[in-house]
Structures are given as structure tokens and as C-alpha cells.
Amino acid sequence: MRKLENSELERLSVEGFKAVKKTPIIVVLDNIRSLNNIGSVFRTSDAFRIEKIYLCGITATPPHKDIQKTALGSTESVDWDYAATTLELVQKLQADGVQVLSIEQAENATMLNEFTPKTSETYALVFGNEVKGVSQDVVNLSDAVIEIPQYGTKHSLNISVSCGVVLWDLFSKLN
């Protein structure tokens, strides 16, 4: 077995990415502190052709060298915008018919492996702050809460890992 060279991977150009049909998922980052986490979310969103990323509150925006370090140029391919407050953004998205799902540990949450997305819906996935998680106000307003099953001793996953797990799962189910 031979490792493939980058030139053999047949990846899209930035222009090609902009033109191709996107996965009907919007990523919402609720007050993310780590610039490396933000960059990782961009890179993962590029991998699964995510529609858009919203950077909310204290979440830093490109261009920034520490975001670029992990994004590896995906801030150019993935559409993004800034919103001052996650709560107001969630209300706007819901008014536009988007189903808002907070990725959090909460009472009556649906386990990710038990969630079946509808191909007719657009979903906004809210990922929360590294310490505080998704704000309670946003959880309260969400259409549903999705929880990643975990079986070890730690209480949570890193936000960039959570994003990778959830985006891969939903991308797989939608395709």
C-alpha cells in the first residue's frame, strides 16, 4: 500500500469549493477562546463542505496567524461571518427556518448516534466555549440538543474534536 501524494487527492480549488453544492449545515461557534480550535473548525468544515461558519461573541475572526496555523487556508474556502451575540443569531436562523441544534450535555438530549437528520432541513450546530460550553440561554432556545456519547473519565471533548465527530456523523447520514 502506497501513501497518496497531495497532487493525487483531486481536491477542489477554492473557486471549485465556492461553486459546489454544500452540506446543509451551518456551524455556530459560541464564544470560543482558542484560535487553534477556530482554525481546526474551519479545516473540518472545509472537509465536509459545510455551508457557513458563524463566529460569535469573543470568537476571533480571520485573518489571524494562529487561526491560519490550523485552518491551512480553509478560511478562504468556507464562508463565514461574525455575530456579536449567539442568542440573536440563533433567533435569526430560526426565523429563516433553520433547525438549531446545540451540541451539549443536557437533560433530555438526543444522543448523536440516535439522531437522524432530515435531508430537507438545514441545521445550525452550536458548539460552545471550552470551559462553559454552549450558553444556557442558547440551549433553552435550541430546537434540540445533541450529545456525543462518551464512556471515559473526562466530562467533555475538545471543541474541535466535538466538531469533527458531529460533522462527520451528520455528513455521513445526509450522504
DSSP tag of 1: -
In angstroms, rounded to a whole number, what is the distance separating the alpha carbons of residues 175 and 97?
A: 21
Give a yes or no: residue 6 inside a domain: no
Give me the CATH number covering residue 67: 3.40.1280.10
What's the whole-number mean pLDDT along residues 126-130?
97
What's the whole-number mean pLDDT along residues 68-88?
97
In angstroms, rounded to a whole number, what is the distance separating the alpha carbons of residues 136 and 139?
A: 5
pLDDT for position 146: 98
In angstroms, rounded to a whole number, what is the distance separating the alpha carbons of residues 4 and 88?
A: 45
Give a yes or no: residue 1 inside a domain: no
Give a yes or no: residue 38 inside a domain: yes
In angstroms, rounded to a whole number, what is the distance separating the alpha carbons of residues 49 and 42?
A: 10
Q: Model-level pTM? A: 0.96
Beta strands in 12-156 (DSSP E): 23-30, 50-56, 80-83, 99-103, 110-111, 123-128, 144-147
Give a yes or no: residue 9 inside a domain: no
Give a yes or no: residue 2 inside a domain: no
Confidence of residue 35 (pLDDT cuts 50, 70, 90): very high
Q: What percent of the chain has pLDDT over 90?
A: 98
- Which domain range does residue 36 map to? 15-147+156-174
Classify residue 54 as left (phi > 0), alpha (psi -120 to 50) or beta. Answer: beta
Q: What is the pLDDT of residues 15-25, one digit of tens each?
A: 999 999 999 99
What's the whole-number mean pLDDT along residues 27-37?
98
CB 142 within 8 A of CB 115: no
Domain count, the chain: 1
Give a yes or no: residue 10 inside a domain: no
Give a yes or no: residue 8 inside a domain: no
Confidence of residue 124 (pLDDT cuts 50, 70, 90): very high
| Cis preceding-peptide flag for 24 (omega within 30 of 0) | no
